[in-house]
Amino acid sequence: MNYTLHQLQIFFKVAETKSITKAAEELFLTQPAVSIQLKNFQEQFPIPLTEVVGRKLFITDFGQEIVKAAEKILNEVHAINYRTMAFAGELTGRLKISVVSTAKYVIPYFLAEFMAQNKGVDLIMDVTNKARVVESLEANEVDFAMVSVLPKQIKTESVELMQNKLFFVGGMQHEKLNKPIKKEQFEELPLIYREQGSATRNAMETFIKGNAFSIRKKIELTSNEAVKQAIIAGLGYSLMPLIGIKNELRTGELQIIPIAGLPVVTTWNLVWLPAKKLSPAAMAFLEHVTATKETIIQQKFKWFEEY
């Protein structure tokens, strides 16, 4: 057998994502490149590693054994790299963060300088809904999580970062308004919701329930980008975080529709478990965020004050 570390890495990522397309995206490779390397890797084994059933990719029992072996090998390679950098006096290790989908517009700014200064640190970041973020934190799968509403079911330590403002948003098809819409006007509008488990959905449901609004029509989508495009296309209206619609507000593709009780204002927090033994890389990142957050907010998010 003559497989390479590159092929092991690709096979492991395909097994992890159960998708050639997703593996290619996460590895910053083209889909054909991943398919070719996966085929070359498979040719070195007499037993199938994967199978496709109903257009879905599955890892065979034998493939799962190879996945376990590949993970051990790749971890050893990472360890060698970290030891080499540590010997040279560089900060090394993995930084694992899980963030709610709206936070993907915020957290990169708090990471950029830190990652540039510490090239021996590998970043693994999962962008998902609040329910999954809390699960990964509770299961001790990550160093930090970033949420706009602190989880009540688990005890956490936290650092406040910046405000999260949610407004009621419509597209160009809605007339421009200078005064808040009335209850009966709101109830005539088709609404677009995020999926269950989303903090944005929870905020929208709480707002509607608190005002005793009736719902005329409901559409459910699984990402803020999907909601944004649906609003632009004229499918409906939704409560959206300001952070994700800056450009569309300025180009006029979206508009904030005034309504009493809005915006909903929460705060993004970087959170971690009190009992978590933070690695040197995680501790260094926490210190970096604490020391630089005010400067980053002033430099990158001063436009928030316009709304």
CATH code of the domain containing 281: 3.40.190.10
pLDDT in the model for residue 89: 62
3-state helix, strand, coil in the chain (%, to 5): 50, 20, 30
Q: Tens digit of pLDDT for each residue in 54-77? A: 888 999 999 999 999 998 888 888
If one counts the domains in the chain, the total is 3
Q: Are residues 77 and 37 in the same domain?
A: yes
Q: Could you tell me which of 250, 254, 246, 258 has the C-alpha nearest to residue 172?
A: 254
Which structural domain range is residue 17 located in?
5-87
pLDDT at 306: 87
Residue at 221 is within a domain: yes
pLDDT digits (tens, 9 = 90+) for 26-43: 888 899 999 999 999 999
Residues 170 and 255 in one domain: yes
Domain shared by 121 and 258, yes or no: no
Residues 125 and 55 placed together within one structural domain of the fold? no
Find the distance separating the first CA and the last CA of the chain, reported in whole Å: 61
Residues 179, 149, single domain; the answer is no
* 261 lies in the same domain as 280: no
Q: Are residues 167 and 229 in the same domain?
A: yes
Higher pLDDT pick, 285 / 75? 285
